[in-house]
Amino acid sequence: MGRVWIWADVSAEDVATSALELLTKARALSDDVGAVALGPGAVASATALGDHGATLVYASDDERLIEPTSRVAAHTLAALVASHAPEVVLFPSSYRARDVAGRLQAITGSTLMANAVDLSSIDRARAEILGGTTIVEVALEGASPHIVMMRPRSFEPSPVGGTAEVVEVDVVAPHGLAAVRVLERTDAAASGPSLEGAKVVLAGGRGLGGPDGFGLLEDLAAAIGGTAIGASRAAVDAGWVPYAMQIGQTGSTVKPEVYLSAGVSGALQHAVGMKGSRRIVAITKDAEAPILRLADLGVVGDLFQVLPALTEEVRRRTGR
């Protein structure tokens, strides 16, 4: 099996878990595994990437690599691809990955497979389509490298205790790059455990009726402990909670021990981000809501009654 690369999303703080997940798959496919990390934090990420099985890490901390259009990153990656000829580049499904992979495809003229959940060989991917209701096996052809974007949480990160050699990358800025300026940046303040790492995820939907409804979930989360709060797109689009909390096709994928939703109907695009959860509890007043078909325990009733009573019962047991 030939050379397999992964794209590592990095930030000044850390390397994304998705990169470590992809390395698990890359190692299963090949002995020749490289990682590409572009932007501040890249060089430091080599420790974790090596520990998870990358033998080479192509890295640069250059600030230009995180300009908002991702053109510099895509062209820098394309130059690396041209000189080292990997057969596959695995990407996560993040925003930055979409921007970089989409441009890479235009430059290399390669096939691009999105929403993949597995790759049995460099030319055979499995993907979830139609909102996760259908799984297809897809033959990939054409120019190298095949570009495959994996759904989050498709593989478990597993450290192997290796050390990667770091290769400093030359930044390639495409000709005539128009200046794109970031006028303002707002970080969504993250408090408590991350959605993707929490043991318990509480999800709120339109049924919560407004931002105040999320207060009920906060109370329950405090009583349980180690709990993250997420939301459906309807709640995000209504402006009740920040986008960082969205679960589903366009947001995070969660696989906690327990996922509990209140006022979420369970549309396909939401389900794709939560149906892998170990146990699913859903509270909705609509007995026909699709989420009830995914639930281990479905409760048909008014969340404004069920949630406070549940919080009280949990407090009684945990003493929090």
Ligand X SMILES: Cc1cc2nc3c(=O)[nH]c(=O)nc-3n(C[C@H](O)[C@H](O)[C@H](O)COP(=O)(O)OP(=O)(O)OC[C@H]3O[C@@H](n4cnc5c(N)ncnc54)[C@H](O)[C@@H]3O)c2cc1C
Instruction: Give the containing element (helix H, strand E) for 7.
Output: strand 4-8
Residue 200 has which token pair? 């318990």
Residues 266-295 that bind ligand X (CB under 6 A): 267, 269-270, 273, 283-286, 289
Q: Which is nearer to ligand X, 68 or 301 (CB)?
A: 301
CB closer to ligand X out of 70 and 232: 232
Which pair of tokens denotes residue 21? 């997940």
Q: How far apart are CA 9 and CA 243, in angstroms?
A: 19
**What is the residue type of 229?**
I
Q: Which residues neighbour 63 within 8 Å (Cβ) at sequence distance 6 or greater?
A: 39, 40
Partner whose footprint covers residue 111, from ligand X, other proteins, none (CB < 5 to 8 Å by kind):
other proteins
Q: Residues 39, 251, 256, 276: which binds ligand X (CB under 6 A)? A: 251
Q: Which does 99 bind (CB under 5 to 8 A by kind): other proteins, ligand X, none?
A: other proteins
Q: Which structure tokens are listed for 58?
A: 């192509």
Element (H, E) at 273: none
CA–CA dist 284, 263 (Å, integer): 5
Report the site for ligand X in 219-238 (rule: CB under 6 A): 232-235
- Chain length of the chain: 320
User: Nearer to ligand X by C-beta: 20 or 260?
Assistant: 260
- Nearest-approach distance from CB 126 to other proteins, in angstroms: 9
Q: Does 54 bind ligand X (CB under 6 A)?
A: no
Distances (CA, A) of 24 to 21, 35, 47, 152, 280: 5, 12, 15, 13, 27
Q: Binders of ligand X: how many residues, by CB under 6 A?
A: 28
Nearer to other proteins, 121 or 163 (CB): 121
Nearer to other proteins, 83 or 186 (CB): 186
Q: Of the ranges 8-16, 117-125, 173-181, 202-210, which one interacts with ligand X (CB under 6 A)? A: 202-210
DSSP annotation of 234 reads H
Report residue 221: phi and psi, to 5°.
-60, -40
Query: Is 38:15 a contact under the CB 8 Å cutoff?
Result: no
> Minimum Å distance from CB 103 to other proteins?
4
Residue from 75, 146, 151, 206 binding ligand X (CB under 6 A): 206
In this structure, are strands 88-91 and 33-38 parallel, antiparallel, or unpaired? unpaired
Q: Is 207 in the site for ligand X (CB under 6 A)?
A: yes
Q: Which is nearer to ligand X, 102 or 174 (CB)?
A: 102
Among 258, 264, 295, 314, binds ligand X (CB under 6 A): 264
Nearest to residue 314, comparing CAs of 206, 202, 208?
202
Residue 96: name the closest of 193, 18, 175 by CA. 18
* Closer by beta carbon to ligand X, 101 or else 247: 247
Q: Which partner from the list ligand X, other proteins, none does 265 bind, CB cut-off 5 to 8 Å by kind? A: ligand X
The site string for ligand X over 153-192 (x = CB under 6 A, - otherwise) reads ----------------------------------------
Residues that bind ligand X (CB under 6 A): 205-207, 232-235, 246-251, 263-265, 267, 269-270, 273, 283-286, 289, 302-304
